[in-house]
Amino acid sequence: MQVNNCVAVLTGAGSGIGRCLALALAKQHCHLALADLNAEALAETAAQARAFGIKASEHPLDVADRAAVAALPAAVMAEHGKVDLLINNAGVALGGTFAQTSEENFDWLMRINFDGVVSMCRAFLPLLSERPVARIVNVSSLFGLITPAQNTAYCASKFAVRGFSNSLRLELEGSNVGMTVVHPGGVATAIATSARGPAEATEAQRQEKLAQAKKLLRMPPPKAADIILRGIERDKPRVIVGNDALILSWLERLLPVNYWRLLPGIATRNN
């Protein structure tokens, strides 16, 4: 897929991988329909992208709001007249054991991380199908490949994205719409600092978990964005971002039940 002069819809565009993906696409002269819950951060991304001479529209959006998602294609078409690429990047994190995770928080995460992806695909697939070449890119996680403790909700959502994407890929075979699922490893974004945790956790416990997470989140977001963009341009069905994700994905394949025994101290850390 050549992104030059394409129109890409990108969620979670206000920061992290989303912002860096927006700028990487803009450098390739891809026009952007940017969506994020944070309107101020969204405006900053759009302004930076426009510096590359492309059109970037701003769409404040909660991907968990099905009505708002259903209305988005019309707004994007009014601004751009077409959609060639859909990147579902928006996501949140939630730490704690299953026993510590409230039903409210579990559902909150699933509505954003999984239901939001499904709703966006449902909304934009008809428009993508009208294009000669189009692609859906769904961002899962390393934790859509492996299952550390204290991440039941997050793993459930990211495995769901992976399964949904892989099945949809088979349904789209032979059509003009391709599918890529992305599994980032430890990328240095704000997902750890913005994650929800157990209500009963002390401040000291929260800071300890945050320090552990930051040790694992090392790849600069621009590098992750470049890897993802190369995967899109090469029509790759799966993109694994980072050597940590690559090594752990192979380890899980070799020892699907017992791989954690080789990774002391990591099993209880948050992604």
Q: Which residues are catalytic?
A: 154
Question: Which residues sit opposite 151 in a β-bridge?
Answer: 96
CB 3 within 8 A of CB 79: no
Structural element, H or E, at residue 69: helix 66-80
CA–CA gap between residue 114 and residue 53 (Å, rounded): 33
CA–CA gap between residue 245 and residue 125 (Å, rounded): 29
Structural element, H or E, at residue 72: helix 66-80
CB 60 within 8 A of CB 107: no
How many Å from the N-terminal Cα to the C-terminal Cα in the chain? 31
Q: Is the dihedral of CA 16, 107, 59, 228 positive or negative?
A: positive
CB 136 within 8 A of CB 171: no
